[in-house]
Amino acid sequence: MSKTEIRHDWSLDEIQALFAMPFNDLIYTAQQIHREHFDPNEIQVSTLLSIKTGACPEDCGYCSQSAKHDTELEREKLLPLDEVIAAASEAKSKGASRFCMGAAWRNPTDKNLDKVIDMISAVRGLGMQTCVTLGMLTEPQAERLRDAGLDYYNHNLDTSPEFYGNVITTRTFQDRLDTLKYVRDAGINVCSGGILGMGETPKDRARMLQELANMPMHPQSVPINMLVQVEGTPLYGADGIDAIEFVRSIAVARIMMPESYVRLSAGRTEMSDEMQALCFLAGANSMFYGERLLTTDNPEADHDHKLFDRLGIQMESAPLETDQKACCGG
């Protein structure tokens, strides 16, 4: 049997029809497609470290790191290299195959990029794959990161183009698309997804997936976050997303982007083990573990190991090379 066609021409009507399928039929379809491309009992695991926390000039309504929100988050300078190496070594000892580094910048300066490149080299020296999320990039900066050996770059769309202005005003949706183009053109694997539960409509969720799937190349990793509400941010108190609707979104992402890793990212502390198991059944095959995701809590690694054992899931060991694997998100 031939594998599912990789498409870049999804219509909104088609996507909404997927969301409207009976739940069992949707999950069955997603699981079939998932098995065409991946081992259904294997999960790619990464660890995420905040290398520069707080004081971000952006106004993303969900984020505790924005300088425009009163979240009492302690601001920190860029971490020294030895602390990054120590954190990466610990992550590797716990089974993580990829180390992701996030900095609360609108865009990195060339001086800061020099320091991040040193971190990338050091982490790769440990035998781990690398990913960074640094905000917007210029084309030359993307090329520098490629030359440094960066495996993956994360830059989320966050939501639909239509709902985007309700969440962020300090950079445009097109700004995000431009950065993703520079990364893609440089030959770096793209990690891009969004956040659910910010008050968006079902149509917005469909439009976000349409934007991702209709890119010239599907992102190698698609992180699907469930909003972690932080007191002091504009989205604190927003209407959340129903658990079944979240699982549906995972399944639709899997159907539309068959070769992409679909990642369970932020929000796992709010998910029961049973909900996470449904997400894996729907086609999620990547996740972060470790106690923190940038500035929000994440289930402890020991709990994740126990969940994997209960489900018969193995952690993927990824080779140290630029291939079409998963990346970070958040």
Residue 226's DSSP bridge partners are 196
Is 191 annotated in the active site? yes
Q: What would you report as the CA-atom Rg of the chain, rounded to the nearest whole angstrom?
A: 18
Which among 191, 279, 327, 328 is annotated as catalytic? Answer: 191
Considering 205, 248, 254, 263, which one is annotated as catalytic? 263
Burial class of residue 251 (count of CB atoms within 10 Å of its CB; 0-12, 13-18, 19+): buried
Out of 98, 100, 205, 207, the active site residue is 100
Pairing of strands 42-52, 98-103: parallel
Taking the C-alpha atoms of residue 277 and residue 123, their distance in angstroms, rounded to an integer, is: 31
Q: 3-state DSSP helix/strand/coil percent for the chain, to nearest 5? A: 40, 15, 45
Tell me whether residue 327 is one of the annotated catalytic residues.
no
How many angstroms separate the CA atoms of 239 and 41, rounded?
33
> Is 63 annotated in the active site?
yes
Quick check: 228 and 296 in contact, CB under 8 A?
A: yes
Q: Identify any residues that bridge with 101 across adjacent strands, giving them in sequence order.
A: 49, 132
Told to judge if 279 belongs to the known catalytic residues of this protein, a careful annotator would answer no
**Candidates 98, 124, 131, 184; catalytic one:** 131
Q: Which residues contact 201 (CB under 8 A, 6 or more apart)?
A: 163
- Is position 263 annotated as part of the catalytic site? yes
Q: List the catalytic residues.
A: 56, 60, 63, 100, 131, 191, 263
